[in-house]
């Protein structure tokens, strides 16, 4: 599925629109046993290919130490790759770093990315100038951004007097000050209060709908599921899987579970269970539960078939498959191909 879209070389920007990562590697020098121990290298990113098109929120997932932050820092021009290429609308993140920086911005939840000895407004002014935003435009944009993140009243207060949440909201405004064509979000909602996290998700979804390309890493997988159209899963710096959240869940056998309680089970309802490939679990108070794990919405057909077979339904529960389950299965190698439930008849 990872199409090699001929984007190398200095071809026209339109031909190479989007961020395209090819065979990316990053080695860090490390000392194994303290300061005077022997030197070796730690390969944090090991041959990654990623495509981050405009107008889509692309997820980058993996367990701790998978190489997500290193990858994002390379995309943000903060780290140089050891080998491989990253092109942003055809521009190289090493050779054309300055031009790339005008097109991208980074919001990293865990890191303080603003100056505490300046006010919120001064921070935005400073970063806006760094990004070459014309002054007249910057003035209005700062007001809009302060309003967006709810800091208008605190605009002229020193950041050292901000709460953690306020500082983080300012970091979000800082990340948007150059109206980036591509937004890199590394755990953006880490430590944010629920309403602010929700507002940030809304803003990110709106930006993507308006054409911004977004790369998101997050430990909150419901957030990833809500926002991302496409997700890459990596482990130890290497590609593990990719697809939409639904595709990943289906591919790992992480299906939704339908549980129908039948109060008068008999041979005919047992035959329905067998036909659908469902399992039967006797219930302590009598009756049984017919349980079916399947990627599609099979609750209706299953319940209808049970009723047709003379079964009385005491209850119906549907548990959605979680992306978390899919990622864990991928990471520990227990992902199994989806069993095909018999849907006929």
Ligand X SMILES: Nc1ncnc2c1ncn2[C@@H]1O[C@H](COP(=O)(O)OP(=O)(O)OP(=O)(O)O)[C@@H](O)[C@H]1O
* Full DSSP string of 54-120: TT-EEEEE-STTSSHHHHHHHHTTSS--SEEEEEETTEETTTTHHHHHHHEEEEETTS--S-TTSBH
Residue among 28 and 312 whose Cβ is closer to ligand X = 28
Taking CB under 6 A as the binding criterion, the range among 62-70, 80-88, 280-288, 309-317 that sits at the site for ligand X is: 62-70
Rounded CA-CA distance 126/92 in Å is 26
Does 69 engage in binding with ligand X (CB under 6 A)?
yes
Rounded CA-CA distance 270/247 in Å is 30
Sheet strand arrangement including 279-282: 279-282, 288-294, 256-262, 313-319
Could you say which residues in the range 281-320 bind ligand X, by CB under 6 A? none
Could you say which residues in the range 160-189 bind ligand X, by CB under 6 A? none
Does 191 engage in binding with ligand X (CB under 6 A)?
no
Least Å distance, CB 4 to ligand X, is 24
Count, residues near ligand X per rule CB under 6 A: 12
Least Å distance, CB 94 to ligand X, is 18
| Residue selected from 18, 62, 188, 245 as contacting ligand X according to rule CB under 6 A | 62
The torsion of the CA quartet 291, 295, 301, 302, rounded to 10 degrees, works out to -10
Does 67 engage in binding with ligand X (CB under 6 A)?
yes
Pairing of strands 83-88, 57-61: unpaired
Taking residue 179's Cβ as centre, other Cβ atoms within 10 Å add up to 16
Residue among 67 and 81 whose Cβ is closer to ligand X = 67
Place of tokens 């349980």: 291
Taking CB under 6 A as the binding criterion, the range among 64-72, 159-167, 267-275, 296-304 that sits at the site for ligand X is: 64-72
| Residue selected from 58, 70, 212, 235 as contacting ligand X according to rule CB under 6 A | 70
Least Å distance, CB 68 to ligand X, is 4
Residue among 110 and 339 whose Cβ is closer to ligand X = 110
Taking CB under 6 A as the binding criterion, the range among 10-18, 58-66, 267-275, 302-310 that sits at the site for ligand X is: 58-66
Cα-to-chain-centroid distance, residue 106: 14
Rounded CA-CA distance 265/181 in Å is 59
Task: Characterise 50 by phi-psi region: left (phi > 0), alpha (psi -120 to 50), beta (else).
Answer: beta
Could you say which residues in the range 22-51 bind ligand X, by CB under 6 A? 28, 30, 42, 44
Residue among 70 and 252 whose Cβ is closer to ligand X = 70
Task: Characterise 266 by phi-psi region: left (phi > 0), alpha (psi -120 to 50), beta (else).
Answer: beta
Residue among 30 and 336 whose Cβ is closer to ligand X = 30
Least Å distance, CB 103 to ligand X, is 22
Least Å distance, CB 45 to ligand X, is 7
Residue among 25 and 179 whose Cβ is closer to ligand X = 25
* Cα dihedral sign, 140-142-148-152: negative
Residue among 68 and 141 whose Cβ is closer to ligand X = 68
The residues, any chain, with a CB within 8 Å of residue 291's CB and separated by 6 or more, are: 257, 258, 259, 260, 278, 279, 280, 281
Residue among 43 and 275 whose Cβ is closer to ligand X = 43
Look at residues 72, 56, 53, 59 and name the one whose alpha carbon lies nearest to residue 14: 53
Element (H, E) at 23: strand 19-31
Rounded CA-CA distance 326/102 in Å is 36
Least Å distance, CB 331 to ligand X, is 11
| Residue selected from 16, 19, 66, 170 as contacting ligand X according to rule CB under 6 A | 66
Rounded CA-CA distance 161/146 in Å is 16
| Residue selected from 68, 174, 255, 329 as contacting ligand X according to rule CB under 6 A | 68
Residue among 36 and 98 whose Cβ is closer to ligand X = 36
Residues lying near ligand X in the complex (CB under 6 A): 28, 30, 42, 44, 62, 64-70
């Amino acid at each position: 599925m990872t199409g090699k879209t001929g984007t190398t070389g200095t071809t026209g920007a339109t031909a190479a629109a989007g961020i395209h990562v090819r065979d990316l590697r990053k080695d860090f020098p490390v000392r194994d046993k303290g300061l005077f121990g022997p030197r070796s290298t730690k390969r944090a990113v090991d041959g990654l290919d990623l495509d981050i098109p405009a107008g889509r929120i692309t997820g980058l997932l993996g367990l701790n130490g998978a190489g997500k932050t290193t990858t994002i820092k390379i995309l943000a021009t903060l780290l140089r790759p050891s080998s491989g290429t990253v092109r942003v609308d055809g521009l190289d993140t090493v050779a054309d770093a300055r031009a790339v920086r005008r097109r991208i911005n980074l919001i990293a939840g865990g890191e303080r990315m603003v100056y505490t000895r300046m006010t919120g407004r001064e921070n935005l002014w400073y970063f806006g100038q760094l990004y070459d935003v014309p002054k007249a435009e910057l003035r209005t944009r700062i007001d809009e951004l302060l309003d967006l993140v709810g800091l208008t009243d605190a605009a002229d207060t020193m950041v050292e007097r901000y709460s953690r949440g306020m500082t983080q909201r300012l970091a979000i405004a800082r990340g948007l000050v150059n109206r980036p064509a591509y937004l890199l979000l590394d755990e953006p909602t880490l430590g944010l209060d629920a309403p602010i996290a929700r507002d940030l998700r809304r803003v990110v979804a709106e930006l993507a709908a308006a054409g911004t390309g977004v790369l998101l890493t997050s430990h909150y997988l419901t957030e990833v599921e809500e926002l991302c159209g496409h997700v890459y899963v990596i482990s130890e710096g290497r590609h593990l899987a990719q697809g939409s959240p639904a595709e990943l869940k289906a591919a790992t056998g992480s299906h939704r579970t339908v549980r129908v309680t039948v109060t008068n089970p008999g041979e005919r309802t047992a035959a329905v269970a067998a036909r659908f490939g469902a399992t039967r679990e006797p219930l302590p108070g009598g009756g049984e539960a017919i349980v079916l794990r399947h990627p599609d919405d099979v609750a209706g057909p299953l319940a209808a078939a049970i009723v047709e077979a003379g079964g009385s339904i005491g209850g119906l529960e549907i548990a959605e498959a979680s992306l978390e389950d899919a990622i864990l299965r991928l990471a520990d190698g227990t992902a199994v191909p989806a069993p095909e439930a018999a849907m006929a008849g």
